[in-house]
Chain A
């Protein structure tokens, strides 16, 4: 016991440092979003503003068509998620469970797309969207992400781990392939699906680059673009308003995490018991 004590202390200290490092910018953002403009300029910075200025949020929200942005963000992220599920689940099932002509080649092709960042191909995609007349619409934000090589890869791995006998039992139970996917594969891959959904949600909720390129009018823009606009107020940046805007962006993510967290833990604990 005695000899373990210092290690525990080092462990604890290490964890505290990590937590502080990750948490400090966040706390700073939260506190700034409640400050007066004057308070944001003081040095050393104050951690607790004298009074909490809720109107920063109202100002931020009212400085542009934020309801529109918010709605667009929700439609885009969920649209992407739904389409991705519709494509990656059957694809992963086929790659994991079937042998067909060229299966390795096509899987390799899928994996290669993992290595190409979207910034590299935005021009051809832009031209494509333009020729379909979809520029400056939500479709231009959704369709290019309708599938995910990463998702296919992740899900294929977890589909591969489902014992073959389970599928055979299901076939003897007269289950169709669709039913096998729905009732056996998806429930067993639940932790992976939730993890992927979170990953996809965060990526597209926070995405700045793609909407910037594909859209020009407010009617098709999303929250990150709206918030970046808060910087363009005259007479210097109002940091408190900007941070309030960032809070509006972040809070939905926190809420989703809060609910998903219990699901993730439950899902992982569940598969752990054999």
Chain B
């Protein structure tokens, strides 16, 4: 078990910064998820922690040791690769055993370790097969077993589920969560799927263009996004964000300080008739563009003069011919951002308190 600390870590390829001055602490025993769009430097960060890539600047610490010059094998870090990277010429057992042999673990101990791991991941009956003859899920398990058997201080997983089909993925997701609870080892998990990030992590590190946007628990990232990027990245569908001046004509209760205003699609209510005037809500009138019915919920695209936006509703779907709709959003569910797209905290709270005054 270990705590990982990145101190001012940067990575350059040629002259381009892929990871820029990153400071991050991964807590001992946490399940930390690195999430962000493709190409934002997630894999590069992981690979630097694993030692597969040298840092250009900064330091990486595991507990109280700076590991910048420690070779990958000696860092006590195990990695699970996106396409498993199983040794194709070895059997499942050979794959799991390889790291132990290199560590000069005695034969007897190896056997018992392999048997333990095999029963944990359910591979007892496949130990003597070659990886090519296994299914995707089984290969994934071999990769996990190979990493686990070394009892590493830190587990690193780079999009380990992205090659699996949806059903298997959600099953493996649960298994990974259980595995983490059972082992209590620090997990660092990379994904570009925000659903995975929200459901698995107890700590989310949101990256964009090589910089940390937000580092917090999943619920805090969802409820208190610190900037527009974070607000738009977490949550499906994405948050609707407008320029303040576009929305101003439709409300009288907001002052003009903020530069951007946004609301989550699931926080808006959609109606077919004009609601009564309500000082707690902002009401936007628009035309229904499209409707996606997903069973438990319905997602509407709505056309408005301030810009198109989405609304998610858990009520029975509206008839398609209801072209004219009213969308109302409570003021307290609005998010405000300044001209740098950072959260305008002061503004937000001032608004909330002024609302309560008005409501009295």
Contacts and interface: CB of A to CB of B under 8 A. Distances in A.
B98 A183 contact: yes
Interface stretch (B75-83, B162-170, B175-183, B257-265): B75-83
A100 B109 CA distance: 41
Interface in A152-166: 163, 165-166
Interface stretch (A28-36, A74-82, A170-178): A170-178
A55 interface: no
Given A168-B52, A168-B72, A173 B98 contact: yes
Interface in A179-221: 179, 183-184, 187-188, 190
B13 to A, nearest CB: 14
B89 A174 contact: no
Contacts, number: 62
Contacts of A165: 81, 83, 85
Contacts of B50: 172
Interface in B86-117: 86-90, 98-99, 102-103
B314 to A, nearest CB: 43
A112 B78 CA distance: 43
B74 interface: yes
Contacts of B99: 172-174
B87 A174 contact: no
Interface in B50-69: 50-52
Choose among B50, B73, B150 the residue with the greatest number of A CB atoms under 10 Å from its CB.
Answer: B73
A169 interface: yes
Contacts of A173: 73, 98-99, 102, 146, 150
A274 B132 contact: yes
A227 to B, nearest CB: 41
A24 interface: no
Give the bracket for the number of chain B residues in contact with chain A: 20 to 34
Contacts of A184: 87, 89
Contacts of A172: 50-52, 72-73, 77-79, 99
What interface size band does chain A fall in? 20 to 34
Nearest to A186: B89
Contacts of B150: 173
B159 to A, nearest CB: 12
A107 B274 CA distance: 78
Contact of B74 (A163, A174, A176, A183): A174
B71 interface: yes
Contacts of B146: 169, 173
A271 B213 CA distance: 44
A175 B98 contact: yes
A120 B83 CA distance: 50
Interface string B317-347: 0000000000000000000000000000000
A190 B273 CA distance: 74
A185 to B, nearest CB: 10
Contacts of A168: 52, 72, 79, 81, 85
A172 B103 CA distance: 11
A183 B97 CA distance: 12
B88 A188 contact: yes
A165 B52 CA distance: 10
A172 B90 CA distance: 17
Interface string B234-278: 000000000000000000000000000000000000000000000
A103 to B, nearest CB: 19
B85 A163 contact: yes
B102 A174 contact: yes
Given A173-B98, A174-B99, 15 more contacts: A163-B85, A165-B85, A166-B88, A169-B79, A169-B87, A171-B71, A172-B51, A172-B52, A173-B102, A174-B102, A175-B98, A187-B89, A187-B90, A190-B89, A274-B132
- What are the nearest 3 A-B pairs in CB distance? A174-B73, A173-B99, A187-B89
